[in-house]
């Protein structure tokens, strides 16, 4: 994944046609496309391969099972063209390690989640989840743009691993604040794909992020 615009598009649309339309409009302003269950269930898993021809694809399946099942999921995602996957850390270090091995290190581990409920269970254990991500050899973590101070705190635990951060726009976070707090990439969905002009929205975010880097 090249670090140019520092934007990861969360492509949570529910048809192949919408996915193609949005990606075609914004492809110059995003470094990667994150695909989650809504699009996979709507368009089928071949959408991973199709999108991977345009940009690097991160499969956000928030994998959280026993090591063997995690390995099988990751192998399927990578064989369909994913460049990286996202897993949860709460299933334990062996489960995260199974993802890391199957993805040859290309794994991001969710720590504290960005929504209000993320404060209930993930926030109190986020430091531990970040430490698990580090010791398992993951590429990076997912940390909340809605609480930039937590990005800065988690950065101290993981050192120079990457931080990708959702919560910009629709969830209230500000892109430049997240980058200033230490994020490498912002993850943006609705603020781009629901915008009247997705290309313009992505361009403005890229300018905001570049300007504050
Ligand atoms: O910009 P949005 O709010 O429309 O979309 C945000 C995306 O980031 C959406 O795909 C969520 O599933 C994802 N996300 C969060 O919003 N919060 C989190 O704490 C974690 C994620 C995520 O990407 O986890 C990998």
* Helices 122-136, 93-102: inter-axial angle, 10-degree rounding: 50
Q: Which atom of ligand 1 lies at the shortest distance from residue 193's CA?
A: 4
Of the candidates 53, 1, 9, 50, the residue with the CA atom closest to the CA atom of residue 30: 9
Expressed in angstroms and rounded, the spacing between residue 60 Cα and the centre of ligand 1 is 9
Q: What is the pTM of this model?
A: 0.97
Atom of ligand 1 nearest to the CA of 108: 25
CB 59 within 8 A of CB 35: yes
Active-site residue 34, yes or no?
no
Closest residue by CA, ligand 1 atom 23: 166
Q: Is 40 in the pocket of ligand 1 (CB under 6 A)?
A: no
Q: pLDDT tens string for the chain (213 positions)?
A: 889 999 999 999 999 999 999 999 999 999 999 999 999 999 999 999 999 999 999 999 999 999 999 999 999 999 999 999 999 999 999 999 999 999 999 999 999 999 999 999 999 999 999 999 999 999 999 999 999 999 999 999 999 999 999 999 999 999 999 999 999 999 999 999 999 999 999 999 999 998 433
- Short-list 185, 190, 182, CA closest to 151: 182
Is any ligand 1 atom within 6 A of the Cβ of residue 142? yes
What lies within 8 Å, CB to CB, of 32 at 6+ separation is 1, 8, 9, 55, 56, 57, 58, 83, 84, 185
**CA 1 – CA 34 distance, rounded (Å):** 12
Residue nearest to atom 1 of ligand 1 (CA): 189
């Amino acid at each position: 994944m090249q670090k140019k615009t520092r934007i990861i598009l969360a492509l949570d649309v529910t048809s192949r046609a919408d996915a193609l339309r949005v990606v075609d409009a914004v492809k110059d302003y995003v470094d990667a496309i994150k695909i989650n269950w809504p699009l996979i269930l709507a368009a089928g898993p071949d959408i991973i391969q199709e999108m991977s021809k345009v940009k690097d694809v991160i499969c956000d399946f928030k994998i959280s099972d026993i090591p063997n099942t995690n390995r099988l999921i990751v192998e399927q995602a990578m064989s369909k063209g994913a460049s990286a996957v996202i897993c949860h850390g709460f299933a334990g270090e062996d489960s995260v390690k199974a993802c890391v091995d199957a993805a040859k290190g290309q794994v991001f581990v969710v720590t504290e989640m960005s929504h209000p409920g993320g404060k209930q269970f993930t926030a109190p254990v986020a430091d531990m989840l970040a430490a698990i991500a580090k010791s398992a050899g993951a590429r990076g973590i997912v940390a909340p743009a809605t609480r930039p101070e937590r990005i800065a705190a988690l950065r101290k635990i993981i050192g120079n691993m990457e931080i990708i951060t959702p919560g910009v726009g629709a969830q209230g976070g500000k892109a430049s604040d997240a980058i200033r707090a230490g994020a490498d990439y912002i993850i943006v969905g609705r603020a781009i794909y629901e915008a009247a002009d997705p290309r313009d929205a992505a361009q403005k975010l890229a300018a905001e992020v570049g300007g504050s880097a």
